[in-house]
């Protein structure tokens, strides 16, 4: 499923990244690589999705995170 489909407080693991070079490099550099665990902190419409991963609170624009496939835990 897509990252943005997760609900608040759900835990998941990144399964797959899809997108152009720049997106992949950007999303990797902030720590979201396949196999990485994350927790959704906030997921409100019209706001970036807030996830917590690798000790970091990360804000992801909704459009950008459509390229992140996750497996729910």
Partner 1 sequence: MSEKVTIALLGQPNSGKSTLFNALTGLHQHVGNWPGKTVEKKEGSFSYGGRDYELADLPGSYSLSANSDEEVITRDFIASGKADVVCILTDSSQLERSLFMAADYAGITVPCMLILNMADVAAAQGKKIDAGLIEQKLGVPVVLFSANDKKGYAPFYNALERAVAEKKTLDTASLEALYEKIPRYSEVKKLMPEDLIPGYSPMWLAAKTLENDPVVLAKLKNTLDVETVSRIDGYRKGVQGAVETGGAKFSWIDGILAGAVTEKKENLTLGRLDRIYTHKTWGKPAVVLTILLGLIASFIPALPLMGFGKVFGMLKEPVTAALTSAGCPDFIISIICTVFIQSLSYIFQMLGFVFGVTLVFGLLEEIGVMARVSYVFDNTMGKLGLQGKSVMPFLVSFGCTMGGAAGTRVIDNWGQKVLTIALAWAVPCGAAWAVIPMLSSLFFGPGAVLVIVVILLTMLLHMWITAKIFGRGLVKEEDRYGMIMELPPYHKPKWGALFRYVLGRTKDTFVRVTKVVLLVCAIFWLISYSFSADSVPLLYRIGTAIEPVTKLFGLNWQLFVAFIASSVGKEGALGVISALFTGGNFAGAFNQAMSGGGVASNLNEILLSNVTKPEALAFIFAITFNMPCVVALAATYQEIHSAKWTAKIAVYYTLTALLLAAIAYRIGLVIF
Q: Summarize as ranges the residues that interact with partner 1 (CB under 8 A).
A: 17, 21-31, 33-36, 39, 41-42, 44, 46-48, 50, 52-64
Nearest distance from residue 1's CB to partner 1, in Å? Answer: 19
Minimal distance in Å, beta carbon 42 to partner 1? 5
DSSP string for residues in 2-67: BGGGPPTT-EEEEEEE-S-HHHHHHHHHTT--TT-EEEEEE--TTSPEEEEETTEEEEE-TTGGGG
CB of 11 to partner 1, least distance (A): 10
């Amino acid at each position: 499923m897509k990252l943005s489909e997760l609900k608040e407080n759900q835990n998941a693991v990144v399964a797959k990244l899809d997108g152009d070079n720049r997106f992949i490099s950007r999303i990797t550099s902030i720590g979201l690589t396949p196999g990485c665990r994350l927790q959704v902190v906030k997921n409100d419409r019209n706001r970036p999705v807030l996830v917590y991963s690798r000790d970091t609170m990360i804000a992801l624009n909704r459009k950008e995170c459509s390229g992140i496939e996750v497996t729910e835990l």
